[in-house]
Structure 1
Amino acid sequence: MAAPKGFALQRPPRDVRLDVLRGWLQVSIFIAHAFGAIYFWGIHASWGVSDSSEQFVLLSGLALGSVFTLKRARDGFAAALRDLGGRIRRLYLTHLVVFVLFAAMVFWARMTSPVPPEAAGWGWLAEHPLRAIAGTLVLLYQPAFMDILPLFVFCMLLLAPFLWLQERIGDRALALPFGLYAATQIFGLTPPGLGGTEIGFDPFAWQVLFLLGAWFGRRALLGVAPLPRHPALFAVAAAVVAAGLWVKLGHYGWAEPAPALLADAAEKPVLGPLRLAHALALAWLVAVLVPRDAPWMHGAVPRVLALIGQHSLHVFCLGLFLSWGVATALALHPAGAWWLELALIPAGVAALTGFAAVLDRRRQPARRVARA
């Protein structure tokens, strides 16, 4: 769908919901990666078959899709492509920096701890460093905690071709990501993991969420509602959420186990069909039921979450280190795990908040210059 003739694209006003939601997703990811047993019950991953990863990918596609479309309309396709290329390069370099620092932390912990902490997949780097470095550069060596940023790099490489195709054939362009997703589910397409690691997020499957988000973002920028508020959609979304809850309660032994076919359809690495449907159902319900700027969003806690959400990439990177540290502390001191978790999780969230506040203060001069 191209912009209507005479229709000038404008940057939409900031959606407070997205900042608050991104902040909550970062906190949820930190809690999930810490592998605790108390705060985990407060995040939606405990009560359904999708988690914050799906929403993070969908929202990233939405944001970058609208940014690329706006840049394309204002400055041309080449300028939009250069802007996207710069974003991909920065994300790729961010992944490499995080990888190096995380490896240093893991090996330092192994040398100094009386009980070496678990760190799946990092042994290949110590045993075959040159091969591991090559595998890291091509994003196929993914030891523990290093699997999500490569997915975003892959998805961003698909963004420009997808939006270019959408300009020419409209919504039929969605056949490309959904066709690749279907082929992945049927034929088991997945890149090979190197060094004994597995690809945590199969990019051939997960790209459908990112590109669907880009489709939403482009349509929203053009002033087109992606989906209507139809009662049938509420019924379908509620049924999908209920199915996800059934699968989860069955895992806990709190309900009759769901059929194996239903549980298998919720696998995370390949983004099983139920998992995909569950993530989309939650996203749609939040989009249609939560107003853009409700009064409660200006309370203290939502403001903190919004601050975190505005710096989600850097907060996410710091959260990887903090969550691994918490998980390691809980594993090394199982007898006191409950009180350690009660203390360390809030401390970690406070650290993420403080880090976001520092980043925000550093960004203030640039904002003033831009407005001037």
Structure 2
Amino acid sequence: MAPVTLKRPPRDLRLDVLRGWLQVSIFIAHAFGAVFFWGIHASWGVSDSSEQFVLLSGLALGSVFTLKRARDGFGAALRDLMGRVRKLYLTHLVVFVLFAAMVFWARMTSPVPPEAVGWGWLAEDPLRAIAGTLVLLYQPAFMDILPLFVFCMLMLAPFLWLLERIGDWALLAPFGLYAATQIFGLTPPGLGGTEIGFDPFAWQVLFLLGAWCGRRALLGAAPLPRHPALFLLAAGVVAAGLWVKLGHYGWTIPAPALLENAAHKPILGPLRLAHALALAWLVAVLVPREAPWMHGAVPRVLALIGQHSLHVFCLGLFLSWGVATALAVHPAGALGLELVLIPAGIAALAGFAAMLDRRRQPARRTASA
């Protein structure tokens, strides 16, 4: 990349609000409730918040890497990226240890041991389970998403290096790997009886496509097109996803097996990928960067959550597992518990984000002084 002067773009409030909403949606989905789940888009289509979160993470890190590459060189950008990878890897290990402690404590103290899918290997063969955890291939319940981000972040620098040299032809690499995964079933082996919840060979395409978009925007490329044909295509994909979902509920005739198979989550089936991209494109072209409603009380809270998404996500894992466990252990009072615990959990996530933001304010003032 020739030396260029790039400026950090102004913060896009849409992204903060959207990330906050995705965090709330992930919490609700993980809690396995019967009421609030109908309010998230995963109930009405074949993709969910996971896809959007991976796409947005790629967009953010792609622009950050490109900015640091232009200002300080490839080496500095790579060191910054590897620092982020190390931080995320260590975060995953800490969350894993704390989550395991919570699971085993609950199983020892509860009269009805809660379900803890995949955690048995850690008790039966701890040395091998720890080794599997360190290489990110032992993924018991709730421990499958952060390893995906570690893998995708490791692919970011080579992809952007290739993008500098051959331009948009570099997209053939992530899409080629994705196609090979769909055709040949490429997937890393899950250890300890667990399965890889998010096949990184497939899901990387979303992350790197997001990185491509982030780099493109930072370099001042033309905005996303708004051709009428794209609206029709996106609407058709969203309608197909709705058909599949309504068929699951028995509200319409089931969708063909071809569509069902194309929406498989672990390998990011083609319909699931297209559905996620269609939703992202529709939001990008239809929602303005600034709108009066974004400054309302609820969007401000969502934006705050979105600005601290990693830490909020980690807390949300613990809270959602606790809610899901309470609902499973007390099925007779599940409805009442859900109506109390899920709003309380969302309030806890918002309060946690506010606390993190207050702690960050002195650092911001020092940096600007």
Q: Which runs of 5+ in 1 are unaligned?
A: none
In the alignment, does 2:73 pair up with 1:76?
yes
In the alignment, does 2:345 pair up with 1:348?
yes
User: For residue 272 of structure 1, what is the amino acid of its counterpart?
Assistant: G
Q: The residue matched to 2:289 in structure 1 has which SS? A: coil
User: For residue 198 of structure 2, what is the amino acid of its counterpart?
Assistant: F
Q: Which residue of 1 aligns with 2:332?
A: 335
In the alignment, does 2:57 pair up with 1:60?
yes
TM-score (structure 1 length as normaliser): 0.98
Q: Check conservation: 2:55, 2:210, Cα contact below 8 A.
A: yes
Cα RMSD after superposing both structures: 0.8
* Superposed displacement of residue 26, structure 1: 0.1
User: For residue 114 of structure 1, what is the amino acid of its counterpart?
Assistant: P
Output one character per residue of 1:297-332: Cα deviation in whole Å (capped at 9) or x when no partner: 000000000000000000000000000000000000
Q: Check conservation: 1:246, 1:255, Cα contact below 8 A.
A: yes
Q: Check conservation: 2:142, 2:317, Cα contact below 8 A.
A: yes
Q: Which runs of 5+ in 2 are unaligned?
A: none
* Superposed displacement of residue 226, structure 1: 5.3
Matches within 5 A, 1:1-372: 7-225=4-222, 227-372=224-369
Q: Check conservation: 1:216, 1:226, Cα contact below 8 A.
A: no
User: For residue 267 of structure 1, what is the amino acid of its counterpart?
Assistant: H
Q: Check conservation: 1:17, 1:293, Cα contact below 8 A.
A: yes
Structure 1: 4+ residue segments shifted above 2 A:
none
Q: The residue matched to 1:191 in structure 2 has which SS? A: coil
Output one character per residue of 1:242-277: Cα deviation in whole Å (capped at 9) or x when no partner: 000000000100011100001110000000000000
Q: Paired residues, what number?
A: 369
Q: Check conservation: 1:62, 1:213, Cα contact below 8 A.
A: yes
* Superposed displacement of residue 225, structure 1: 2.9
Quote the Cα distance in structure 2 between the aligned partners of 1:368 and 1:177: 40
Quote the Cα distance in structure 1 between the aligned partners of 2:368 and 2:210: 29
Q: The residue matched to 2:77 in structure 1 has which SS? A: helix
Quote the Cα distance in structure 2 between the aligned partners of 1:164 and 1:371: 32
Q: Check conservation: 2:27, 2:317, Cα contact below 8 A.
A: yes
